[in-house]
Amino acid sequence: MDKESPKNIWEKVDFIGAATDADIINAEKRLGVIIPVILKQQLKIQNGGDILFFDWFEQATDKEFLFIGDSIVDGICSVSQWCLASENDWFSNCNDVHHKELLVSIAGHSESQLCLDYRKNGRNGEPGLTAFFVTQVSAEIDSIESITNLIHILIKFKYTHSPVE
């Protein structure tokens, strides 16, 4: 009997391949943060790539996560490419963004950057997700308190809606 594949947030699985435990452990050490279990599970299905079908965001009734769209045009980066905002050139002129060492850049499309945000709960806590338009005077545009909750929303949305034709 075929084992049902785990529910995931990825548009197409197998495009990039899965992250290994070593990939994730190395990223956590390099970044100095703990990646949430649910995100590790997603990375072990696929190590970055496109989330859902991009057009699905336009159908979303929960407008809370529409801001992600600009940042993920090019997909989520593989875990080895994640970096601290303090080391990301796109953030070099963002004087209004504090504690960049607690922001992990996981996706970006030019000036639109998406970060795991550890500023509220610390390096070992549950990160939020914050979008930045780094060329604006006030770069921080929107955030979601829990990456875990967002992943649950995305999975529910993916498996209860049809993609746009």
Q: Token pair for residue 147?
A: 């990456």
Average pLDDT in the 75-102 region? 90
CA angle 146, 81, 158 (to 5 degrees): 45
CATH number at residue 139: 3.40.1580.10
Number of folded domains in the chain?
Answer: 1
What pLDDT is recorded for position 41? 93
**Residue 7 belongs to some domain of the structure:** no
- 86 Cα distance to chain centroid: 17
**Residue 165 belongs to some domain of the structure:** no
**Residue 74 belongs to some domain of the structure:** yes
What pLDDT is recorded for position 1? 36
**Residue 126 belongs to some domain of the structure:** yes
Higher pLDDT, residue 68 or 28 = 28
Is 164's pLDDT higher than 70? no
Per-residue model confidence as pLDDT tens digits over 98-157: 999 999 999 888 788 889 999 999 999 999 888 888 776 666 666 777 888 878 877 887
Is 92's pLDDT higher than 70? yes
Pairwise CA distance, residues 129 & 150, whole Å: 9
Is 17's pLDDT higher than 80? yes
- Residue 165 — very low, low, confident or very high, per pLDDT cuts 50/70/90? very low
Helix residue ranges per DSSP H, 18-141: 21-31, 37-45, 56-59, 68-71
**Residue 155 belongs to some domain of the structure:** yes
Which domain, by its residues, includes 90? 21-160
Per-residue model confidence as pLDDT tens digits over 23-65: 999 999 999 999 999 999 999 998 998 876 555 555 554 554 5
What pLDDT is recorded for position 142? 67
